[in-house]
Chains A and B, each alone.
Chain A
Amino acid sequence: PAALPPAPLGFTDVNLNCRNTYEVSRRRSAPEHLPHGGTAPAAPAPPQEPAERARRAGIAGAGSSFAEFFTRNFFTKRTKELKPAVQSAPGWKLFGKVPPRENLPKDSKIIQQEYEARTGRMYKPPPPSARRKNMEFEPLSTTALILEDRPANLPAKSVEEALRHRQEYDEMVAEAKKREIKEAHKRKKIMRARFKQEENIASAMVIWVNEILPNWEGMRATRRVRELWWQGLPPSVRGKVWSLAVGNELNITPELYEIFLSRAKERWKSFSETSSENDIEDAGASVADREASLELIKLDISRTFPSLYIFQKGGPYHDLLHSVLGAYTCYRPDVGYVQGMSFIAAVLILNLEEADAFIAFANLLNKPCQLAFFRVDHSMMLKYFAAFEVFFEENLPKLFLHFKSYSLTPDIYLIDWIFTLYSKSLPLDLACRVWDVFCRDGEEFLFRTGLGILRLYEDILLQMDFIHIAQFLTKLPEDITSEKLFSCIAAIQMQNSNKKWAQVFASLMKDNKEGDKNHSPALKS
Chain B
Amino acid sequence: MAQKAMPGTSLEGIRPTYIYKVVLLGSTSVGKSSLAYRYVKNDFKESLPTVGCSFFTQMLKLEVATVKFEIWDTAGQEKYHSVCHLYYRGAHAALLVYDIANKETLNRAKLWLRDLEKEFLPHEIVIALVGNKTDLAAKREVATEEGEEFARTKDLLFMETSAKSNHQVNDIFMAIAQELLQREQEKASAPSPHGRSTVDLGESGARTGCC
Contact = CB atoms under 8 A, between A and B. Distances in A.
Interface of A: 276, 278-280, 283-284, 286-288, 290-291, 296, 299-300, 302-304, 306, 336, 338-340, 342, 376, 378, 381, 406-407, 409, 411-413, 415-416, 419-420, 424, 465-468, 470-471, 474-475, 521
Interface residues of B, number: 36
Given A278-B107, A306-B46, A521-B211, A376 B51 contact: no
Interface stretch (B5-13, B79-87, B126-134, B152-160): B79-87
B139 interface: no
Contacts of B111: 280, 283-284
A66 B116 CA distance: 43
A424 B47 CA distance: 12
B27 A306 contact: no
> DSSP majority for the A interface?
helix
B82 A378 contact: yes
Contacts of B83: 376, 378, 381, 411, 415
Contacts of B75: 339
A466 B204 contact: yes
A415 B209 contact: no
B51 A287 contact: no
Given A278-B104, A409-B210, 8 more contacts: A376-B81, A378-B83, A407-B209, A411-B52, A411-B86, A412-B52, A467-B70, A474-B53
Contacts of B49: 300, 303, 339-340, 342
B211 A419 contact: no
A416 B49 CA distance: 11
B77 A296 contact: yes
A302 B211 CA distance: 34
A287 B78 contact: yes
B52 A338 contact: no
Nearest to B27: A287
Contact of B29 (A286, A299, A336): A299
Interface of B: 27-29, 46-57, 70, 75, 77-83, 86, 104, 107-108, 110-111, 204, 207-211
A290 B104 contact: yes
For B52, B82, B111, B204, which residue has the most chain A Cβ atoms within 10 angstroms? B52
Contacts of A406: 204, 207
A303 B76 CA distance: 14
A411 B51 CA distance: 11
Contacts of A378: 82-83
B112 to A, nearest CB: 10
A474 B54 contact: yes
Contact of B28 (A279, A291, A342, A470): A291
4 smallest A-B Cβ distances: which pairs?
A415-B52, A283-B107, A471-B55, A407-B209
A415 B53 contact: yes
Contact of A306 (B29, B48, B57): B48
Contacts of A415: 51-53, 83
Contacts of A409: 86, 210-211
A91 B29 CA distance: 37
Contacts of B27: 287
A365 to B, nearest CB: 14
Contacts of A340: 49, 51
Contact of B210 (A290, A306, A342, A407): A407
30 contacts: A276-B104, A278-B104, A286-B104, A287-B27, A287-B107, A288-B79, A291-B78, A299-B28, A306-B48, A338-B77, A338-B79, A339-B28, A339-B75, A339-B77, A376-B79, A376-B82, A376-B83, A407-B208, A411-B52, A411-B211, A415-B53, A416-B52, A419-B51, A420-B51, A466-B204, A467-B55, A470-B55, A471-B56, A474-B54, A521-B211
